[in-house]
Amino acid sequence: MNILVTGGAGYIGSHVCVELLRSGHQVVVLDDLSNAEASVIGRIEQISGAAVVFVEADLRDRAVLRQLFAAHAIDAVIHFAGLKAVGESVAEPLRYYDVNVYGSIVLFEEMAAAGVKQLIFSSSATVYGDPDQVPIDESAPLRTTNPYGASKLMIENILRDVVKADPSWQVALLRYFNPVGAHESGLIGENPRGIPNNLLPFIAQVAEGRRARLAVFGNDYPTVDGTGMRDYIHVVDLALGHVKALERLQRDGSLLTCNLGTGAATSVLQMVDAFARASGRPIPYDILPRRPGDIAVCYAATTLADTELGWKAERGIDQMCADAWRWQSSFLA
């Protein structure tokens, strides 16, 4: 198939491009490089041994999208492009709704105009807010606590309405838990600009010596060691889940809403230990107060991914840390 990957130069998108190409698909990437480097495209090609068509443009540029759909016979779209920093979304809500929600509407309108109705959308476990119970299954109540999360839930709601109005749309809403790690080649991975918001890139920079100490946000949660627990998933497992979701849409085009997680939770201090082992470096840390808006524990129910996609995450915490460290210590150092 010929797949349009919006945000395909980004962290998750680049790994998905590799797995699509390795599965024999063709890929057109649309990315404005607001949070990615142009050289990622060459590295995707190097890993996969296949060529990528790259269009540098903003998702909201309707004329470019129209031209893109006219020039390439696109069969399906995987939509990653957007903004993802929770704190920034609280400070700049209009920018978040503009890029994420308006940008998605322009994309869906141009897809419809071109007769392309097969779509995988990057949603997030953030749509569950502070869950009533764990593991979280897909029928759990949806509620969000910040504009980023609200933008994800709005796009999910828009797509549910689109499918209702026109059942010939074939849509998968994939709710990612906490993607981490990097490609085992060491050629692609996460490269946050400025101070990392997320735990693993921060730990990796402490291990490298770029930052002195990790701040652990709270050790008074009701968890194994008092620190927050999350369902960290290797980005390559996540990418393979997208290939499976594409296959699912081919054999059954009905609306799919599915968690992509491992079903296990790891604490901050467990992650610190695992990274210290993988890197052979100490990770000095201080305990700070809780980060506002954080929840204690979050992990996925994985039954639906198993039955609907025939997919399970296979890579564990040690491999996530080893691959993140290879990327940090070789490519980013």
Q: Does 228 bind ligand WQD (CB under 6 A)?
A: yes
Kindly give, in sequence order, each residue whose CB lies less than 8 Å from that of residue 301, ignoring residues fewer than 6 positions away.
135, 136, 137, 138, 259, 263
User: Pattern of binders to ligand WQD over 121-150, x per CB under 6 A?
Assistant: ---x-x------------------------
35 binds, among ligand WQD, ligand NAD, none (CB under 5 to 8 A by kind): ligand NAD
- Tracing tokens 């101070």 back to the chain, one arrives at 195
Q: Which is nearer to ligand NAD, 35 or 302 (CB)?
A: 35
Structure-token pair, residue 16: 């998905």
Q: Which of 4, 21, 36, 173 binds ligand NAD (CB under 6 A)?
A: 36
Residue number closest to ligand WQD, CB atom: 228
One residue of 268, 278, 317, 321 binding ligand WQD per CB under 6 A? 268
Which of these ranges, 11-19, 127-135, 251-259, 277-285, lies near ligand NAD under the rule CB under 6 A?
A: 11-19
| DSSP conformation class of 131 | -
User: Per-residue DSSP letters for 311-329?
Assistant: ------HHHHHHHHHHIII
Distance CA 266, CA 90 (A): 27
Q: Rounded to whole angstroms, how far apart are CA atoms 173 and 242?
A: 10
Footprint on residues 97-156 left by ligand NAD (CB under 6 A): 99, 103, 122, 124
Does residue 131 have a cis peptide bond before it, meaning omega lies within 30 degrees of 0? no
Burial degree of 217 (CB within 10 A; 0-12, 13-18, 19+): middle
Q: Is 325 exposed, middle or buried (0-12, 13-18, 19+ CB in 10 A)?
A: buried
Among 60, 277, 291, 312, interactor with ligand WQD by CB under 6 A: 291
Query: Which of ligand WQD, ligand NAD, none interacts with 201 (beta carbon under 5 to 8 A by kind)?
Result: none
**Out of 36, 159, 216, 233, the residue judged to bind ligand WQD by CB under 6 A:** 216
| Catalytic-residue membership of 148 | yes
Other CB atoms within a 10 A radius of the CB of residue 304 amount to 16
Instruction: Provide the annotated active-site residues.
Output: 148
- Interface with ligand WQD (CB under 6 A): 84, 86, 124, 126, 178, 197-199, 202, 214-217, 228, 230, 268, 291, 294
Residues near ligand NAD (CB under 6 A) are 7, 9-13, 31-36, 58-60, 80-84, 99, 103, 122, 124, 176, 179
